[in-house]
Amino acid sequence: MRPLKTSQVSTLLLCKVQSGLMVHPDREHIVYPLGCNIIIEDITKEAKQCILSGHTNDVTCIDISNDGRYIVSGQETFMGFKAIITLWDYATKKAIQKWELHKVKVQAVAFSKSGKYVISLGGQDDGSVVVWDMVTKEPICGSPAQVESAGITTCLATSKVSDEVFVTGGDNTLRVWTIDKENRKIRPSNTNLGGFKRSITCIEMVDDQVEDMPYFFCGTTTGDILCINKSTNILQFEFPGKDKFCLGVTAISFVKMTDKGFNMLIGTGSGIVGNYNISVCFEKGNKVKTVFKHRSDAKPWKHCESAITSIAKRGAGHQFFVGTDHSQVYKFQFADYSADLIKTCHSCPVNDIIFPFGVAQLILTCQEGEIRVWDLTTGRELRRFVLANKVCNALAISRDGKIVVSGWNDGKIRILGFKSKDLSLELKHVVMDAHNKGVTAVALTTRGDQVISGGGDGMVRMWEIITFMDHTGKKEMRADLRHSMKEHKNCVSEIVIASSDKECASASGDGTTIIWDLTKGSRKTVVFANTLFKSVCYGEDEHQIITCGTDHKIGYWETYDGSMIRELEGAKAGAINFMDITSDQKAFATGGEEKLIKLWRYREGEVTHVGKGHSANISRIRIAPDNRSLISVSEDGAILQWRFPAV
């Protein structure tokens, strides 16, 4: 049994984590979390990726040491268990230390200035801050992160001039801490905000810039930024006084000191990224006067599609990357403030994936409210169809590639086409009330003129697509119902059509897989099992079908009478959610709650390769038409492309 190898990864959770997108000090790689994994991606022309696997649940925070030698990451876990902090060696890409002390969740982690310590902050159910010694790899001390009257502490930053100082902030709490290693204690000092009550979302330390101004800046949910003097631990000023940032300040990054003051990059909850100069001067009586304005030579604010979660500088900041909570990454040039969208990903679970007939370079995927077209050679998104407040459950595409049939949770089948000018997806026709409880499966015949749909109500229906000219001479489309077949008592999971277009097989959660006669619109054969069927494929010469479901078994069945041929143990635990078979029907692949891709020989019924890379339940698998690659998607929104081996 040999491992499958990934050739490309598209990611969801990289930007869901606050400050989760980072640039490595070597300036050639970006680092971000993907579910249980950490991705190291080359941002040069090669664009290679490396996956660090070791966490048992979603990664919630990440940091890189200033010398680039180490990566530290924290995760969340289930109630009553302790969350893991993992220390990684960047050179070997291996975990060298695991710490378990915080309960349920690690909220934030950070290296000290020279990498002498690692500071970790627990989540809501833990509420403690712990200092770890990087020499002994043992905890030095810990303390409650906030006073009892305060809210939850959510963010953490370390001083840029001292290993012994760090700052924590959160809901009505802001503290400067000093590490006393000799006495194994950390001593907090509550910041005097002068009557202000704020919820801190991010902290940026600039205490290394001006000797008499050891400041740090704190973004808040109310849309203003607090400037704190680290030495006196007193609020120096807050800005802007008016016209505060909409939906709060979510990311701050200091760029450089200029003759006009502190030059800062600011990201907001409304998706705005701006470049500001903050100049500070002292008047009589040590009264602070600030001038806060947008950089005059910069272009206007860049408005991204969703909230900013990360601003990661490359080097001194001549180039920087911005991540959003809809899993988009922008690359900005600081000189002219130009921006390019370099990476897009799914922002919620991927429900289905398909290849166009005979094309191995393109895929179509769907999620809540969206259908996307991807180029696998570059990993880039090409086109997108958006329908707000609806969930697309299933996709099918005609052999000529002219129409895309999609099933939605509102019970409608939407037929899409490609515009002739820019090949963008446009809505051609809507089949109203196709199914009562949402459309959960769709399939197209080889001619592309008939659609078979399955729904949450257990119905399997056959529709004929008719194209005609209206009175203005415009080409129109309609779908007429030909057959309505009611046998299933539960949701239809998948429908596959035989190459002859005369029959199809439907898998259902009621424990049956039914083979239908499409010419008569009636049941031909039924298969019963003590499981919730998830997927079905036609086997060799279409005289057999293979099924999988919640009993983690793979069944071979005769299409003639529904009798079982044999049964295989497909997984050690959990359901097998999907399977797909090669075009020559000599091998098939499975995936599910085990989070593993397994490649099987059809006749021998044995596993030849296993792929490990997903950090959430695998929802769909598709083998490319040329049998050279395999695409899998999961509930965390990841799309993984695997090299398909010779079996």
Q: Is the pLDDT of residue 87 over 60?
A: yes
pLDDT at 283: 52
**Mean predicted confidence (pLDDT) in 539-548:** 93
Q: Is the pLDDT of residue 295 over 90?
A: no
**Mean predicted confidence (pLDDT) in 396-420:** 93
- CA–chain centroid gap for 172, Å, is 30
What 3-state DSSP class applies to 496? strand
The CA distance from 227 to 603, in Å, is 69
| pLDDT band (50, 70, 90) for residue 420 | confident
Q: What percent of the chain has pLDDT over 70?
A: 94
Pair 279, 295: CB distance under 8 Å: no
pTM, rounded to two decimals: 0.84
Locate 475 and state its tokens: 């080409």
- CA–chain centroid gap for 633, Å, is 11
**Mean predicted confidence (pLDDT) in 579-600:** 94
| pLDDT band (50, 70, 90) for residue 284 | very low
Handedness of CA 205, 207, 210, 214 (dihedral sign): positive
The CA distance from 253 to 312, in Å, is 8
Locate 354 and state its tokens: 């398909």
Hey, what amino acid is at 60? T
CB atoms within 10 A of CB 237: 18
Going by their DSSP bridges, the two strands 117-122 and 139-144 should be labelled as unpaired
Which residue intervals of 146-286 are DSSP H helices? Answer: none
Is cis: bond before 240, omega within 30 of 0?
A: yes
CB atoms within 10 A of CB 476: 13
Q: Is the pLDDT of residue 294 over 60?
A: no
pLDDT at 289: 53
The CA distance from 53 to 40, in Å, is 11
What are the C-alpha distances in Å from 332 to residues 209, 302, 548, 636? Answer: 24, 10, 47, 27
Going by their DSSP bridges, the two strands 607-612 and 2-3 should be labelled as parallel
What 3-state DSSP class applies to 162? coil
- 114-118, 283-287, 468-472, 502-506: least confident range: 283-287
Reported as a single tens digit per residue, the pLDDT across 432-476 is: 999 999 999 999 999 999 999 999 999 999 999 988 888 787 888
Residue with tokens 């969340």: 76
Task: List, in sequence order, every residue forming a beta bridge with 460; answer none if it has no partner.
Answer: 454, 485
Nearest alpha-carbon partner for 606 in 576, 577, 642, 647: 647
The CA distance from 644 to 301, in Å, is 45
Pair 280, 213: CB distance under 8 Å: yes
Reported as a single tens digit per residue, the pLDDT across 99-116 is: 999 999 999 999 999 999
What 3-state DSSP class applies to 542? helix
End-to-end CA distance of the chain: 11
The CA distance from 196 to 190, in Å, is 13
CB atoms within 10 A of CB 610: 14
